Amino acid sequence: MNLEKQLPSLAIVTGANRGIGLEVTRQLAHQNITVILGARDLEKGKAAAETLATEGFEVLPRWLDVTNQQSIDRLATEVKQKFGRLDILVNNAGILYDTWQQAIDANLDTVRTALETNVFGPWRMCQAFIPLLRQSQRGRIVNVSSGAGALTSMSGGIPAYGVSKAALNALTRKLADELKGTGILVNAVCPGWVATEMGGAGGRPIEQGAAGIVWAATLPENGPTGGFFRDQKPLAW
């Protein structure tokens, strides 16, 4: 009998104090997965965890700013000491849907800010946690991307966001290939247009957007890797 397989899974979700990240946390906890709720403002993270507790879900709020290497290293050390492994990493934190800009004259400091959170954030997280994902028998990485990062359908506008998500998709391919044979499955998922603070009114319910991310986070051993999905269906890169 494989004892490791009987342990409850352990997940980290970044940007989990609100929006899609909070709902992904809720849905993973609903599957009896132990979830570390990452929040760049710990007070907001604790408040979100309290809300989940009133619904019967115990999660672990932690300070996690994906632009801050110290916060990432601190959490990696804690997870290593307490759990010795990580099963699921959901890189959800994302910013700067810059509908007001065009690539021809975009403020490059703004672009850099988007890349720092949307690309270097997940990249830092992966570098810090892949050693712990390697200790799992079912490592899963989900990079929360966007159709706005798809090159085949890319149009003008929203330059910081679009370029950052295209780069995140490229990172997904690189990591998936480099991790082949380790059991770690790496995929990018677009949640669709979702009614959050970022998405605004008119988008679909958060539960629906989160479901495709949870699917990719809990793929079976023979599940896909190096893919780009929305609602469990492949999307063109």
Dihedral sign from CA coordinates of 170, 175, 178, 181: negative
Dihedral sign from CA coordinates of 126, 130, 136, 137: positive
Among 129, 161, 228, 229, the active-site one is 161
CB closer to ligand NAP, 61 vs 139: 61
Of 64-72, 180-188, 216-224, 227-235, the segment contacting ligand NAP by CB under 6 A is 64-72
> Is residue 203 a contact residue for ligand NAP (CB under 6 A)?
yes
Q: Scanning residues 86 to 105, which ones bind ligand NAP (CB under 6 A)? A: 92-95
Q: Which residues contact 5 (CB under 8 A, 6 or more apart)?
A: 137
* Residue 81 CA to its chain's centroid (Å): 23
**Secondary structure (DSSP) of 167-179:** HHHHHHHHHHHHT
Q: Could you tell me the smallest distance in angstroms from the CB atom of residue 18 to ligand NAP? A: 5
* Binding test (CB under 6 A) with ligand NAP, winner from 12, 13, 65, 98: 65
Which residues are registered as beta bridge partners of 89? 12, 141
Q: CA dihedral defined by 90, 96, 101, 106, rounded to 10 degrees?
A: -90
- For residue 161, indicate whether it is catalytic: yes
> Is residue 76 a contact residue for ligand NAP (CB under 6 A)?
no
> Is residue 45 a contact residue for ligand NAP (CB under 6 A)?
no
CB closer to ligand NAP, 35 vs 144: 144
Which residues are registered as beta bridge partners of 229? 189, 234
> Where do contacts with ligand NAP occur on this chain (CB under 6 A)?
14-15, 17-21, 40-41, 44, 64-67, 92-95, 117, 121, 144, 146, 190-191, 193-194, 196-199, 203
